[in-house]
Chain A
Amino acid sequence: MITITNLSKTFNAGTPNEVCALDNVSCTIDKGSFVVLLGTNGSGKSTLLNAVAGNFFPDSGKILLDGSDITNLQEHKRAKYIGRVFQNPFSGTAPDMTIAENITLAVRRGRSRGLGWALPLSSVDEFKKRVKSLNMGLEERLDSPIGKLSGGQRQALTLLMATWLKPKLLLLDEHTAALDPKTANKVIQLTEEVVSKDNLTTMMVTHSMQQAVNMGDRILMLNNGKIVYDIKGEEKKRIKTHDLLALFDEIRKREQVDPTTAEMLISNYV
């Protein structure tokens, strides 16, 4: 379970480029829940994900993971609990190292790394078995550099690596945005398999209404660093893409009126 309380972050504070990326965000995500984060560019959805991942420390607020405070834990230290897949398919793997070597790095996520042999022969069978589950034929290419694979193959491997050890939380940052539609579907299908198999608590950022409708059990819609809609339960099950588009439209319309007139209009007519 993850509890976020009054989380705020302002980038470039005190300069003309000041951006309030997160504005007092609070939410609780239950164990085993799959949350989709939606929002326009600059709405703060990726920032929220990165705050949880530890890319930066928030200005204020708290993040609790299973009751323990991780707000000020460095990125590499909270990696013990968190598996991540990035938007850029090249970000999640080390290109000059082989598939097997990349996996050994993931096998020790959050564990100590000493002078033990990184690639013991005994682990090859398990590597092959789990890589085979991707159905990409990569199990025969464990010794080739990962940089030679396509973006989709690398993203599928990153997903496998992120969940090799069951993470307490899986973070997916628009992980299909840079892939062609067919590969994206494949990676989405893998994501659903992996998440449901281990019942992983997941936060996924996406731009795709289709994914938001089809996946997960909750949608958090962000705008200007705030959560503006929280759609869950039966409502989430019923929601369709056009409903989401209507919500986006509503947000856009709200932004067109300035705050004071908005208040006046709301008090008069709502």
Chain B
Amino acid sequence: MSLLVGAITIGLILALLALGIFISFKIFNFADITAEGSITLGASIAAALIVAGVDPVTATIIAMFGGFIAGALTGIIHTKFNINGLLSGILVMTALYSINLHIMGKSNLPLLSEDTIITQIESLNLMANKEMTILLSTLLIVSVFGIVLYLFLKTNLGTAMRATGNNPQMIRALGVNTNHMIILGLAIANALIALSGAILAQFQGFADVQMGIGMLVWGLASVIIGEAVIGDKSIGSLIVGAVLGSLIFRLLVAIALRWGMNPNDLKLITAIFVFIALVLPGLSKKFKKRGVTVK
């Protein structure tokens, strides 16, 4: 039971990562690898500030702001200097590795005896079962951010942002600065990702400079699973799908590990999974087409 609750809680925390990846991958159509640096950035800022005695909620908000700046930086490098989106992300991610080490002062920062948002939630004594309290609190946080993101994407600014990814030529002709939209969008995405990292570090009790590795593919897997499960491409469904996908993916991983899968193979299998998920729609179309010509 506690294993399951733990897996769901981590799935929910990483759903914030999935929401960030949803913005870059589904709205702007590119895989923003800044995520791997900004999730660690969020964790290290929150951890370092908490160790320094800052209130954990404040620390988490500052961590989010750090992610916002990292994302904006990727957007600026991409749009103002005309560097390919993936490469811009790689540059920022690489730079963040050193920055994260500087923030933490070492490669791993434990938080075990510190006051974190998790211990704060526990001390509220809302329910007898502490693990369930934490699970439901994370669910609440994810729901709030999911709803706010949904509402944002339905505003004038949000619609212009979606159009920027969908048809930049058209939205420029309607008077929108597409560069600003991309910069703002990536900033929001990475703020969510840093928030995910900040909460994850407090939940697992440490921040580690390596914790971001493979997180982009992880987020992509969540978004793709969610889209497949919900089967609808409207904004609301995609957002719910990203959260659901993150949960399902985390559960699948927990089950696989329970069955005795070597944890070292986890990233290999994730990568293969995402590869298949990306290729499958194209392949099935091809086969369908062939079927028609044969008839």
Q: What are the residues of chain B within 8 A of A113 when measuring CB–CB?
A: 155-157, 159-160, 176
- For the complex, give the distance between the alpha carbons of A176 and B105 in Å: 64
Tell me how many residue pairs across A and B have CB atoms closer than 8 Å.
91
B158 within 8 A of A: yes
The interface residues of chain A lying within 8 Å CB-to-CB of B159 are 97, 101, 104-105, 113, 118
**B281 within 8 Å of A (CB atoms):** no
Task: Check if B145 is an interface residue, CB within 8 A of chain A.
Answer: no
Task: Closest B residue to A147 by CB, please name it.
Answer: B166
Is the beta-carbon distance between B175 and A92 smaller than 8 angstroms? no
| A-contact 0/1 string along B163-207, CB 8 Å cutoff | 100110111111111100000000000000000000000000000
Is the C-beta of A115 less than 8 angstroms from some C-beta in chain B?
A: yes
Q: Could you give 5 example pairs across A and B, Cβ below 8 Å? A: A93-B170, A95-B167, A104-B156, A108-B175, A109-B174
**Are A91 and B157 also in contact (CB < 8 A) when A76-B175, A111-B175 are?**
no
Residue among A95, A104, A105, A116 with the most chain B CB within 10 A? A105
CA distance A162 to B154 in the complex (A): 22
Q: Nearest chain-B residue to A119 (Cβ)?
A: B154
By a CB distance below 8 angstroms, the chain A residues around B178 are: 76
Say whether A106 faces chain B, with CB atoms less than 8 Å apart: yes
User: For the side of the interface on A, what is the size category?
Assistant: 35 or more
Known: A105-B160, A115-B152, A118-B158. A94 touches B171 (CB 8 A): yes
User: Is B163 a contact partner of A105 (Cβ separation < 8 A)?
Assistant: yes
Q: Which residues of B contact A108 (CB under 8 A)?
A: 156, 160, 174-175
Residues of B near A80 (CB, < 8 A) are 175
Chain A residues positioned under 8 Å from B158 (CB to CB): 118
Residues of A within 8 A of B156 (CB): 104, 108, 113-118
Give the residues from 112 to 153 in chain A that come closer than 8 angstroms, CB to CB, to chain B. 113-119
B window 110-169: CB within 8 A of A: 152, 154-160, 162-163, 166-167, 169
Chain A residues with CB under 8 A of B163: 94, 97, 102, 105
Contact of B174 among A79, A86, A118, A119 (CB under 8 A): A79
By CB atoms of chain A within 10 A, which of B157, B166, B170 has the most? B170
Q: Nearest-CB distance from A158 to chain B (Å)?
A: 8
Contacts of A74 in B (CB 8 A): 177
A→B interface (CB under 8 Å): 53, 74-77, 79-80, 82, 84, 86, 90-97, 101-102, 104-106, 108-111, 113-119, 161-162
CA distance A111 to B159 in the complex (A): 14
The CA of A215 and the CA of B152, in the complex, are separated in Å by 44
Q: CB of B267 within 8 A of chain A? A: no
Say whether B171 contacts A105, CB under 8 Å: yes
* A84, B177: Cα distance in complex, Å: 16
Q: Tell me, rounded to whole Å, the shortest Cβ–Cβ distance linking A74 to chain B.
A: 8
Say if the beta carbon of B102 comes within 8 Å of chain A: no
Shortest Cβ-Cβ A-B pairs, 5 listed: A79-B175, A94-B166, A113-B156, A110-B175, A118-B159
Given A95-B167, A101-B159, 19 more A-B residue pairs with CB atoms under 8 Å apart are A77-B175, A79-B175, A82-B173, A91-B169, A91-B170, A102-B163, A104-B156, A106-B174, A108-B156, A109-B174, A110-B174, A113-B155, A113-B157, A113-B160, A113-B176, A114-B156, A114-B157, A116-B155, A162-B173
A94 and B162 contact, CB distance less than 8 A? yes
Instruction: Name B172's contact: one of A75, A96, A162 (CB within 8 Å).
Output: A75
Nearest CB on A from B155, distance (A): 5
Q: How many residues of B contact A (CB 8 A)?
A: 23
Nearest chain B CB to A107 CB, angstrom units: 9
Q: Which residues of the other chain, A, contact B233 by a CB distance below 8 angstroms?
A: 96
With most chain A CB atoms within 10 A of its CB, the pick from B169, B173, B176 is: B173
In the complex, A91 Cα to B163 Cα: how many Å? 12
Are B155 and A114 neighbours in the complex by a CB distance under 8 Å? yes
Distance from A186 Cβ to chain B, minimum over Cβ atoms (Å) = 21
Q: A76 is contacted by which of B152, B154, B167, B177 (Cβ under 8 Å)?
A: B177
How many angstroms between the C-alpha atoms of A109 and B160 in the bound complex?
A: 10
What is the bound-complex CA distance between A92 and B174, given in angstroms? Answer: 9
Q: How far is the CB of A117 from chain B (nearest CB, A)?
A: 6
Is there contact, CB below 8 Å, between A92 and B170?
yes
| Nearest B residue (CB) for A171 | B173
Residues of chain A with a CB closer than 8 A to B152's CB: 115
The answer to whether B173 touches A79 (Cβ under 8 A) is yes
Interface centre among A76, A114, A162 (most CB of B within 10 A): A76
With a cutoff of 8 Å between Cβ atoms, the chain B residues found around residue A94 in the complex are 162-163, 166-167, 170-171
**With A76-B178, A115-B155, A117-B155: A92-B166 Cβ-Cβ less than 8 Å:** no
A92 to B152 CA separation, bound complex (whole angstroms): 24
CB distance from B88 to the nearest CB of A (A): 21
The reply to whether A86 and B166 contact each other, CB–CB distance below 8 Å, is no
Q: Are B167 and A91 in contact (CB under 8 A)?
A: yes
**Assembled-state Cα–Cα distance A115/B171 (Å):** 17
* B272 CB → nearest A CB, Å: 28
Alpha-carbon distance A119/B155, docked complex (angstroms):
8
A84 to chain B, nearest CB (A): 5
Which chain B residues border A93 with CB–CB below 8 Å? 167, 170
